[in-house]
Amino acid sequence: MLSEREYLWLCELAHTNLLRTQRSASILELLTILQPEMAAKGCLDLAQNMRSSQRLMKYKLLELVEGPSYPELYLFHHEDANVMVIVLQDLPAARLHTVYDMNRAAQDLKLRLIDGARCICTGMGYSGWRAAQLADALDIEAVVFGAPSVEELPGKAVNYVCADDPVGDATAKVAFVKQRVEDDEAEGPLSNRLAFSDDGRPILSEQSEFSRFVSWFYSSAGAVEPEIWRYFFSEAEEEGGVLPDLGVYSVYLHIGELSEGTISQSIEHTIRHARQLLEANRCELELELAKITDEDYQKAVPACAEAYAQQAAERVGLIFDSVQTILMGAALFTLDREMLQVEPWMAGFGSRISELMVQEQEKLQEILDLAISRHLERQLSAPELSLEW
């Protein structure tokens, strides 16, 4: 059986996106063929590490399994030991897949698994979560790395996570691993960050206070509205869809996309979006007030105005919470690295939203006053004189 570090190397090899063009070949042959491309991607250390593993050199890539609704799966086989490893490619689209998709993948895989083989499923990041779902559907074990743990991983899975990395608050199947490098070097491959023994076993550790705090933050922070997400990050548009979990973990994954320039531009887009929503809300209020008959005016007008004022507050509140989640997440995840100073942005955005709501209250009051004035004019207008001859 492979060590955890060797499973992680397979995940990182799949993550290079170089395997999909390869046919059945041993890992040694693959590394030789892919050496120029791996060099171009800065992955020669990974290739060298994999070559040093006698156990990995006994494995062979059998095939790529792909379907319209689930991640790409790579099947590796150790013929002598009759062990199969199913590696899920770590692509952003893995976040869009569902339990149904993984059950579909399991049905396709059952036709390809070798009789009597012991099977292990592995993946990292969101694909680690999908690997656990797939393993559960196949009733096999899963060894995953850095998977989000907002919910408990299904089945017989172990999730190896750096002791300082943010995870969710469901940690029963999480194994925290000692961090091998300093924070300022923590952007490299996960296999370089996690500490392993000489035989490739992870050196376990306690969850750090930082990670505990982030787990609490997960459960208390709100989700990000899809429209606001698009203003700050580009991924949802590139994938042609919206991520189902636009929360703190998604901010963590995309923290590298934020800079002072992009934050400033995104906030301007967000303020403009809030103004447009409020303007649309006022138009709706005017239309509703116009429908109210004079007989119902005294009761209906205050109720209508209150409902639309509340709707305006709720819409802007969702926008504010979304930006707050992004900026608080950015502040939290760059705390030790001083990449971004987001506190001024948070204070400035809060002030602008407060000012916008004060202005909106005045505009709503103007609409209400105008509607009441027109109602009174109708009530006080002289009756028409009609003479019949």
- Sign for the CA dihedral angle at 101, 107, 112, 114 comes to positive
Total Cβ atoms within 10 A of residue 383: 5
How is the chain split among helix, strand and coil, in percent rounded to 5?
Answer: 55, 15, 30
DSSP assigned state of 71: E
Contacts 24+ apart (CB under 8 A), 6-9: 6/50, 6/53, 6/55, 6/56, 6/200, 7/85, 7/120, 7/122, 7/143, 7/145, 8/122, 8/124, 8/145, 8/160, 8/190, 8/191, 8/194, 9/46, 9/49, 9/50, 9/53, 9/56, 9/191
For position 244, what pLDDT does the model report?
46
Q: Which residue in this structure is represented by tokens 């004035």?
A: 373
Q: What is the pLDDT of residue 241?
A: 39
pLDDT for residue 239: 42
Residue 297 pLDDT: 76
* 181: CB partners within 8 A, 6+ apart: 188, 192, 193
pLDDT of residue 203: 96
What is the structure's pLDDT at 330? 79
- End-to-end, the C-alpha distance of the chain in Å comes to 109
The CA radius of gyration of the chain, in Å to the nearest whole number, is 28
Identify the pLDDT of residue 194.
94
What stretches in the chain show pLDDT beneath 50? 184, 236-244, 382, 387, 389
| Residue 125 DSSP symbol | T
> What pLDDT is recorded for position 38?
94
Res 236: pLDDT: 47
Task: Give the pLDDT of residue 186.
Answer: 54
